[in-house]
């Protein structure tokens, strides 16, 4: 069976695509309060929330605080910056590839934790599709980084 040929820049391109997808998805609505489950009905709860200034939805940046936001920012910016470095250098350097592996792994863990333990109370908050799509975006970053790292390790084998 012939070996599958992989383009040298496919790893950094996959990391960049995953980072950009994560950025776009993180700005979309990840969580939404199901107002119909509150006492008094949906219309009453919506009016009460509006009058009190309560948010009934949140994107990927809002519910978790500064440390989590800093980690998400590191994953997005770090992944994009490392991928651009790889594209500029021809993807032959091991250090940026290894750093991209770490960034991708942090992204997978961070998004995974956000999916497993969403905002509380869980009975009232639903997780929307962009939050679920963020997981494949971070997995793409991790896969691209693994491909890139493997390619960088074996540049002399060609």
pLDDT of residue 66: 93
Strand runs labelled E in the chain: 29-33, 57-59, 125-127
Q: How many domains does the chain have?
A: 1
Nearest alpha-carbon partner for 90 in 3, 12, 4:
12
Cα–Cα distance for residue pair 84/82, rounded to 1 Å: 5
CA angle 69, 20, 136 (to 5 degrees): 85
| Inter-axis angle of helices 10-26 and 94-116, nearest 10 | 30
Q: Return phi, psi of residue 8, to 5°.
A: -60, -30
Residue 157 has pLDDT above 60, yes or no: no
Confirm whether 5 is domain-assigned.
Answer: no
Mean pLDDT, to the nearest integer, of 78-94? 88
Domain span holding position 96: 10-28+61-117+128-157
Confirm whether 76 is domain-assigned.
Answer: yes
| Inter-axis angle of helices 66-89 and 10-26, nearest 10 | 150
At residue 62 the predicted structure's pLDDT band, cuts being 50, 70 and 90, is confident
């Amino acid at each position: 069976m012939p070996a599958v040929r992989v383009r040298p820049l496919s790893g950094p391109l996959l990391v960049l695509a995953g980072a950009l997808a994560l950025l776009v998805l993180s700005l979309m609505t990840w969580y939404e309060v199901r107002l119909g489950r509150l006492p008094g009905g949906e219309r009453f709860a919506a009016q009460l929330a509006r009058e009190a200034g309560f948010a009934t939805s949140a994107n990927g940046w809002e519910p978790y605080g500064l440390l989590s936001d800093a980690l998400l920012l590191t994953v997005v910016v770090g992944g994009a910056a490392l991928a651009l470095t790889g594209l500029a250098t021809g993807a032959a350097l091991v250090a940026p590839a290894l750093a991209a592996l770490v960034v991708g792994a942090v992204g997978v863990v961070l998004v995974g934790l956000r999916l497993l333990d969403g905002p509380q109370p869980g009975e009232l908050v639903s997780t929307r599709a962009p939050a679920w799509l963020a997981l494949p975006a971070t997995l793409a970053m991790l896969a691209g980084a693994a491909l890139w790292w493997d390619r960088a390790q074996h540049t002399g084998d060609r």
